[in-house]
Amino acid sequence: MDGENRVIKNGSLYAVGQQIIAIGDNLPYETADAVIDARNKIVYPGLINTHHHLYQTLTRNIPLAQDCSLFDWLLTLYEIWRHLEPEDIYLSAMVGLGELLKSGCTTSSDHFYCFPSGISTELIDEEIRAAAELGIRFYPTRGSMSLGRSNGGLPPDEVCQSEDDILRDTRRVIEQFHDPSRFSMLRIGVAPCSPFSVTRHLLKESADLARSYGVRMHTHLAETMDEEQYCLEKVGMRPLAYMEETGWTGDDVWFAHGIWFNDAEIKRLGACGCGVAHCPSSNMKLSSGTIPVRKLLQAGVKVGLGVDGSASNDASNMLWDVRMAYLLHKQLNGDSLTANETLSLATRGSARVLGWEDAIGSLEAGKAADLFMLDAAQLGFAGALFDDAALPVTVGAYQADMTIVGGRVVVENGRLAGADEERIAFRAQLAADRMAATAAKRTKLDYRAYRPANL
C-alpha cells in the first residue's frame, strides 16, 4: 500500500526496533535476532481503526437493543452503561483490542465518553492499561457528555459530568499520557461525544484546549437524520455549520460517520482538511444510511475505516469491516470502490485521518513494522490466489495468522501472545451479566428479551 501500490513476490522485510529498514526481494540481510518464516503467508500493512467505543464490548447482542434506530438504541443502553465500573473498562478494552489485533489491526483509536456518577473519573486509564498489555498502538480520545436529559440533551444525567471536571481530567490525560513522537504507542485526542450530548460552551472550550496542547479532535457528526433535526431545532443550524461555529473544523479534526453531509458541506470539509471515519457495519446495523464515500474522496476529504462501538457492530473485527465497506458500496451506482481502494481506506486512508501517515499505513523503509499475515494455504482461499492484494477484501478473512506491532509479535497462530484469551472472555462475560442484571433491577426491563422496533 505504498505510493506505487507495489506487490512484492517472494520478498523479505527487515526491521530494527520499531522501524522497517528494508523491504523487497534479495535483501542482503542474512542474520537477525529473530527470523520469521513466512512461507505460504501473505503480508499486509497493519489495519488502522479510526473509531471505536471499547466499553460497549460488554453490551453486544443485547436483545432489547436490536433493531433500534440510533436514539432509541442509545436510550436503551445508557441504562446499562450507567453501571460501568473501572474493571469493566479494562476488561472491555482487553476483549475489543484483542479482537482487533486478531483481525490484523495494529493501531486503534477509541472514543470514551461515558463516565457514570459516583465512580472514578480516571476510566480512560483502564483501557490505556489494557492496550499496553496487549501491545497495540493506541489512540484513545477523552470523550465527554455534559448535556443531560434534564437540560435538553439525550443522555441521562447520571452518565454526564460537569464541564469543569471534563476539562480538568482532559488536561490530566493529555499531560500524563500523550506521546507525540513518530513511533509513539500512545497518543491522546479530545472528543466531546456529539452535538446532542454536550453544550456549545464545552465544544468551544474543548477545541481551545486541544489546540493549546497540539492534539487532534474527534466527535460524531452527520450520523443520522435525527441528529440533523435535533441541531436544527435546538441550535438553528445544520450539524456541520454548528461545528464550524464552535471551532470544530480543520486538518486536526476528524468526524465519525459523516453520512448526511450535503454537496456544499462536502466541499467545505475537503477545503479545510477534515477527516471522516467510515463505519459501514454499524451504519448498516442501525439503519443510519450510507456515507457518500466517492464524493468525499473526490472532494479531498480524508476518509478512513472504523468498526465503531461493539454494541452497534457486535464485533471488533477490522477484516470484517474492510469487506463490509467493499460490498456496501458495490450496491450503490457510481459510488463503488475497488478492492485496492477499500484496503487503502483501512491503511493509508486511516493513517491520514489520524495525522500519522509519516509512520503507519504502508510497508515502506522508514515506517513502523506494523503488519499482519494471512495463511494462503487455508481452505477458504483455495481457488482464490490470483490477486493477493484484493484477497482479504473480495474473498474475505476473519482472522490473521500473525500480527506484528512495532516489530513485536502480538498475535501468533491466530492467538494473542502473552494473554489468556479464555480467562479474559470469562471475566468479561461475568461483568456483562452483572451490568445487565443491575440495570434490569432498576428499570424492571428484561434486557435479554427481544423487543421489536418502535414498541
Total-model pTM: 0.96
- Asked, for residue 86, whether it belongs to a domain, the answer is yes
- Asked, for residue 172, whether it belongs to a domain, the answer is yes
In the predicted model, what is the mean pLDDT of residues 199-208? 97
415 vs 95, 246, 314, 365, CA distance in Å? 13, 45, 20, 28
- Asked, for residue 383, whether it belongs to a domain, the answer is no
Q: Is the pLDDT score of 30 beyond 80? A: no
Helical pair 124-134 and 163-177, crossing angle rounded to 10 deg: 20
- Asked, for residue 422, whether it belongs to a domain, the answer is no
Number of structural domains (the chain) is: 1
Cell of 266: 462536502
At 308-340, the pLDDT tens digits run 988 788 999 999 999 999 999 998 766 789 999
From 247, 268, 270, 171, select the one nearest 213 (Cα to Cα): 171
At residue 451 the predicted structure's pLDDT band, cuts being 50, 70 and 90, is: low
Cell of 230: 435535533
Q: Is the pLDDT score of 29 beyond 80? A: no
In the predicted model, what is the mean pLDDT of residues 116-142? 95
At 167-197, the pLDDT tens digits run 999 999 999 999 999 999 999 999 999 998 9
419 vs 98, 109, 128, CA distance in Å? 9, 21, 16
Q: Is the pLDDT score of 453 beyond 80? A: no
Task: Name the more confident of 97 and 285.
Answer: 97
Res 455: pLDDT: 38
CATH code assigned at 88 = 3.20.20.140
Q: Is the pLDDT score of 288 beyond 50? A: yes
**Nearest-angstrom CA–CA distance, 196 and 154:** 6
Res 454: pLDDT: 46
- Asked, for residue 440, whether it belongs to a domain, the answer is no
- Asked, for residue 285, whether it belongs to a domain, the answer is yes
Instruction: Give residue 210's domain range.
Output: 47-353
At 334-392, the pLDDT tens digits run 678 999 999 999 999 999 999 999 999 999 999 999 999 999 999 999 999 999 999 99
- Asked, for residue 19, whether it belongs to a domain, the answer is no
Res 335: pLDDT: 75
At 224-278, the pLDDT tens digits run 999 999 999 999 999 999 999 999 999 999 999 999 999 999 999 999 999 999 9
Cell of 389: 492484494
The mean predicted confidence, pLDDT, of the chain is: 94
Q: Are 116 and 441 in contact (CB under 8 A)?
A: no
**Nearest-angstrom CA–CA distance, 376 and 414:** 14
- Asked, for residue 9, whether it belongs to a domain, the answer is no
In the predicted model, what is the mean pLDDT of residues 131-136? 98
At 384-420, the pLDDT tens digits run 999 999 999 999 999 999 999 999 999 999 999 989 9
Residue 308 exposed, middle or buried by CB count within 10 Å (0-12, 13-18, 19+): buried
